Amino acid sequence: MMVKQLVALAYVDEHRAVEVLALLQRLHTDSAVPVQDAVGVVRGTDWNVKLHHYMDLAQPEDAAVPFWRGLIASLVLAPGTADCRKTGQDYGLLPEFEHELRMAMPPGSSAVFMLVTESTLAALLDELYRMGGTLLNSPIALCD
């Protein structure tokens, strides 16, 4: 089992996370975060949740989509996701992270989620703070 950091940049604006995700995609060559390890999440005022994820159609199967769908559905209550919902403890997340994320993502908000190593997080902190929003992170246990 590999331990990484789950980083969330939460915004009070529904559209900001998708803009930041697009910025990460444009800066992909200079960024330490592979775009397949980042998603944008929009929580609409109607409580619906949309997931924005970079997908390379040249790849035969994108195994990241079920992972991100399950993780986000476990963290952000979304209609129609009972089939994949777990608990934060199932992912090894800190309870404080879950609580702070719920507070930072009311209806009408958005967030960018990234999986990074601890050393990458330390190197990215200044850049992440410049992107604004509420920065949260927690260790997350991943199966190799």
Q: Look at residue 63 and tell me whether its pLDDT is greater than 60.
A: yes
Helices (H), the chain: 16-26, 64-75, 95-104, 118-130
SS3 53: strand
Higher pLDDT, 142 or 46: 46
SS3 79: coil
- Sketch the domain layout of the chain as residue ranges: 2-142
Question: Whose structure tokens read 């991943």?
Answer: 142
Instruction: Say if residues 24 and 35 touch (Cβ distance below 8 Å).
Output: yes
Per-residue pLDDT tens for 1-44?
Answer: 667 899 999 999 999 999 988 887 776 555 556 666 889 999 99
For residue 59, the 8-state DSSP code is S
Neighbours of 46 (CB within 10 A): 9
Rounded distance between C-alpha atoms, residue 111 and residue 51, angstroms: 10
Query: What is the pLDDT at residue 120?
Result: 82
Instruction: Say if residues 135 and 25 touch (Cβ distance below 8 Å).
Output: no
Q: Which residues contact 60 (CB under 8 A, 6 or more apart)?
A: none
Is pTM, for the whole model, over 0.85?
Answer: yes
Instruction: Say if residues 97 and 88 touch (Cβ distance below 8 Å).
Output: yes
